[in-house]
Amino acid sequence: MPDWLLYTGSRTSHDGIDRLPAPPPWRAFDGGPALPTPSAPPIPSGGAPHQAITYLPSADAVQQVNAALYLRRPLLVTGPPGTGKSTLAYAVAHELRLGPVLHWPITSRVTLRDGLYQYDPITRLYAAARDGRDVLPDDDIGRYLRLGPLGTALLPYERPRVLLVDEIDKSDIDLPNDLLTIFEKGEFEIPELVRRADPRAGVMTADGPRVAIDRGTVRCRAFPLVVMTSNGEREFPPAFLRRCVRLELSRPDGEAELAAIVRAHLGDLADQSEDLIRRFLERSSAGALATDQLLNAVYLLRHADAPDRGRLADQIMPYLNGTPADDEDE
């Protein structure tokens, strides 16, 4: 394994991130004071999902993750459904001990501000009225501010946080361009704090703890590992693409590779499932299938005493595009 690799795909936690060299001069950030990286809950209570400790990355995935870490650039991961695009973020966070993954699921209604922070003035107004106050107290605004996943990732942590921007291709057409300034500057302002006489306040983060924001500005120290996933449903602006490290994932296409994936998830069941692996490969040559469908079939047929093993497997592994005739006559 080359010495320059911090993330190796070993699935074993280590402190390799401490060997990360200083950033390029044009990607250096000086936010502070430094915050410790939050600890992930112990396995399997949510800190490292099952997928994170069983994920088998390709050599390209390992290389491009490290490139994104070294260059302090977002990683744009594209590929068909079921190829492990989202799981990659959890696998990196687990191996490099970067804390819980900050997850930002994208829809067409999501805006940049949704990812940065939310402010709830209505609840603040009701609280003031309940206390019999005619004027909103200036010192309690932080109770009604909460950083979003992107805003939390940009806090001045000692180690980079992992931010999963899931299915960015489903976003409004302006969101990728809106992200450019944030990714370049590594900071953002909270106007509700900047306008105060004392723009310092303790605000909630996306994953719980309150932090102090000074002068109404959040600025990163270690640029986060931003993993943006896309199913390839749209094209992105050139200005956005040139600021990303890009990774294309493909479906596994060989018996040995699939057997290794089944073994990582289900242990010795892989040795009893050669027929299902071959059936999956045969069917995938006629239409789109995802690897998790194979895992479901292997697990179910280990516990289900089905008279027609092949038919049940086909029903558990339907084509994602619904077109091949094989499924029409079931």
Residues 6+ apart with CB under 8 A from 11: 52, 53, 54, 55, 91, 94, 95
Instruction: State residue 124's pLDDT score.
Output: 66
pLDDT at residue 83 is higher than 70: yes
pLDDT tens profile 7-35: 999 999 999 999 999 999 999 999 999 99
Range 101-118 average pLDDT: 95
Cβ neighbours, 10 Å, residue 7: 25
Give the C-alpha separation, 283 to 295, whole Å. 15
Range 293-308 average pLDDT: 88
Instruction: State residue 8's pLDDT score.
Output: 97
User: What percent of the chain has pLDDT above 90?
Assistant: 59
Give the C-alpha separation, 232 to 219, whole Å. 31
CB 9 within 8 A of CB 62: yes
Give the C-alpha separation, 157 to 32, whole Å. 8
More confident residue, 2 or 131: 2
Instruction: State residue 42's pLDDT score.
Output: 56
| Domain residue extents for the chain | 16-248, 255-327
Per-residue burial over 282-309, b if 16 or more Cβ lie within 10 Å, else e, is: ebbeebbbbbbbbbebbbebeeeeeeee
More confident residue, 40 or 191: 191
Give the C-alpha separation, 113 to 201, whole Å. 19
Instruction: State residue 147's pLDDT score.
Output: 96
Q: Nearest 5°: phi and psi at 280?
A: -60, -45
Instruction: State residue 1's pLDDT score.
Output: 62
Instruction: State residue 133's pLDDT score.
Output: 63
> 3-class DSSP state for residue 39?
coil
Superfamily of domain 16-248: P-loop containing nucleotide triphosphate hydrolases (3.40.50.300)
More confident residue, 273 or 21: 21
Residue 165 has what DSSP assignment?
E
- Between β-strands 201-204 and 225-230, what pairing exists: parallel, antiparallel or unpaired? unpaired
pLDDT at residue 87 is higher than 90: yes
Range 48-63 average pLDDT: 86
Residue 251 confidence class, pLDDT cut points 50, 70, 90: confident
pLDDT at residue 324 is higher than 70: no
CB 107 within 8 A of CB 23: no
**Cα angle 51, 301, 289; round to 5:** 55
CB 65 within 8 A of CB 13: no
Range 172-188 average pLDDT: 94
Residue 300 confidence class, pLDDT cut points 50, 70, 90: very high
pLDDT tens profile 94-103: 999 999 999 9
DSSP E strand boundaries for 35-172: 75-78, 102-105, 117-119, 145-147, 162-166
More confident residue, 326 or 203: 203
CB 115 within 8 A of CB 150: yes
